[in-house]
A and B are shown apart, each in its own frame.
Chain A
């Protein structure tokens, strides 16, 4: 893995900074969509050396941040039923539902396992035939194909004690919703590289043309992000708007046809509520009727009580209207120890990234 040093090459990074400074003449707001990118930006302090007129807005691409409260309440209620093993990604454990989080449910006796993949949950189901295993399927087009393949595998094995609570959502409809927001400040997007390895660039062409915004598919290393910013500024300064790929070592324009096929086989597109952002049309992935026996919501008759986030500030952070430090709760009522909103929880949440990497000091705490 020599490449890591390469993508953090300070000389290349400095030369990118120089070029960005050379060509920037106007104020531009560039939104990085993915929480992983936000994390890198804060971890490496990338904003410190950008020209003053370039503002980075942090987007909604933090999977645990946007998972609706009612789904978290749903998985918590499942974890408290007897004979159910719940599997989830690590980040999700600490996210507050309406009353508590999964960690609290675990302490109260729920059998909740931190897993790296839904395929691990499949194995737990094979090993525990007398129990029901429910995996909490969250995240974007990056994690959705793996969840789908777990369902297909369960179906092939006729494994009847395995199901998924699917809260998967898609990124491009959320970007469209941000552009439609009358308060939006976004001039260009850095699109999430990992999502695009699956989807390819097709879903972004329409967004780019309709919203007249440059979209640069960007990676996650410091140098990737600086190069993505440079490519976006180049287009903005020249008055162009195209979909271009910075993350070319991983993304092909056509994406990953096999992953897309699996997703299409298992999921249908539905409207879905995003925590803090409200309902986004055509953004959700629901398990098709054909596979309903693997749909935990159906199997266990989970009733979702729709609750919008009490904290509207999170929504304004997630769609880039305000920076985390502009939130009145930031660092006061809302800290990583006692998060009020989800963006303060995950390492990919913008508020947690700010809090841990620098801005707490500036906030004067």
Chain B
């Protein structure tokens, strides 16, 4: 079983024990010395049962997500960066300015403290970059063998400071679809690490906060109709879902979607379709034609990724499908997957 590390760090003092979740001194110490220290802010209060938030807006966005990635640490990030950025990005995709997160930890007995510390530090950094505060949290410890080292749940609150309804229902015929960079990196980076694939070129996850980019677009008055981050199921799934919910057909140019060579190569070998591979720092925005040059221009100056492109459009018609136009001039439909992609045999 590939579980939590034990080898070098077998000194019991350096491992998570059941008592770390037992409500007594050991738990207090873990909270004070690790979580409260890393996540300290004007609103976080480790002594109380709940954080009091001052949210001076009528409209707030609220979301939650759980993170169970294997391996815990991968090229370009770890479960901590994912747990912060994932929830920040979900808020951002509705056009909210992310403000506050909660963080619930389910730790497995025997987890090296060193790993937990590294993950908490990643969360601290990711939260600072995204401009959010982690204001409340929870820790539970489960018996060895009943977890996978660490599971994290984060929920987040953001404020809506504009009058747009950023959702599939706002998608309009003629909308231009802009993608903020190359796709497929996160899924391949995590899988390569998990399966110990020996790659010539290391592929790093694209895990990043999209909050800053989205806030810049909103501040510039871009009329964003819909946004979606390309997590599980990748670009194809995001597009197919939006086509279905908006009941509008979408056409995509295959050659306009950037994919790094090493990502493409791994996909070829394993029989994966990079359009369906997960990302953690990529999104698509549906905007009116008039706004597309400004969006491209702003995203080119992003700190997350500098290769945005127009990948397609919402076209006239009634069938809510995504059609991909290939380089050969042929077409195929990008459909929802039935389950996970599994590696092919030959």
B-binding residues in A (CB < 8 A): 1-2, 4, 8, 10, 13-14, 17, 34, 36, 39, 42-46, 48-49, 63-64, 89-94, 114, 116, 138-140, 142-143, 194-195, 222, 335-337, 346-348, 355-358, 360-361
Contact = CB atoms under 8 A, between A and B. Distances in A.
B9 interface: no
B319 A361 contact: yes
Contacts, number: 107
B297 interface: no
Nearest to B333: A358
Contacts of A138: 345
Contact of A116 (B273, B335, B343): B343
B328 A49 contact: yes
Interface residues of B, number: 29
B346 A140 contact: yes
Contacts of B338: 335-337
17 contacts: A1-B268, A4-B261, A8-B327, A14-B329, A39-B271, A45-B331, A63-B345, A64-B345, A89-B345, A94-B342, A114-B342, A116-B270, A138-B345, A335-B338, A348-B271, A357-B333, A357-B335
A1 B333 contact: no
B277 to A, nearest CB: 14
A148 to B, nearest CB: 15
Contacts of A4: 261, 264-265, 268
Contact of A1 (B262, B273, B319): B262
A143 B343 CA distance: 14
Contact of A13 (B262, B271, B327, B343): B327
Given A36-B346, A90-B342, A114-B342, A45 B332 contact: yes
B183 to A, nearest CB: 16
A339 to B, nearest CB: 9
A48 B330 contact: yes
Q: Is the interface of A mostly helix, strand, loop or mixed?
A: helix
B335 A142 contact: no
B332 A357 contact: yes
Contacts of A10: 327-329
A143 B346 CA distance: 7
Contacts of A45: 326, 328, 330-332
Contact of B344 (A49, A337, A347): A347
Interface of B: 195, 261-262, 264-265, 268, 270-271, 273, 319, 321, 326-333, 335, 337-339, 341-346
A285 to B, nearest CB: 14
A14 B333 contact: no
A47 to B, nearest CB: 8
Contact of B339 (A92, A94, A140): A94
A10 B329 CA distance: 8
Contacts of A89: 343-345
A13 B330 CA distance: 11
Contacts of A94: 339, 342
A63 B261 CA distance: 28
A285 B337 CA distance: 34
A194 B343 CA distance: 17
Given A1-B264, A45-B326, 6 more contacts: A8-B328, A89-B345, A93-B342, A222-B326, A337-B338, A348-B345
Across the A-B interface, give the 6 residue pairs with the lowest CB-CB distance, nearest first.
A45-B330, A90-B342, A336-B338, A142-B346, A10-B327, A1-B265
B234 to A, nearest CB: 14
Contacts of A14: 328-329
Given A14-B329, A42-B332, A139 B345 contact: yes
A361 B332 CA distance: 10
Nearest to A42: B332
A108 B335 CA distance: 30
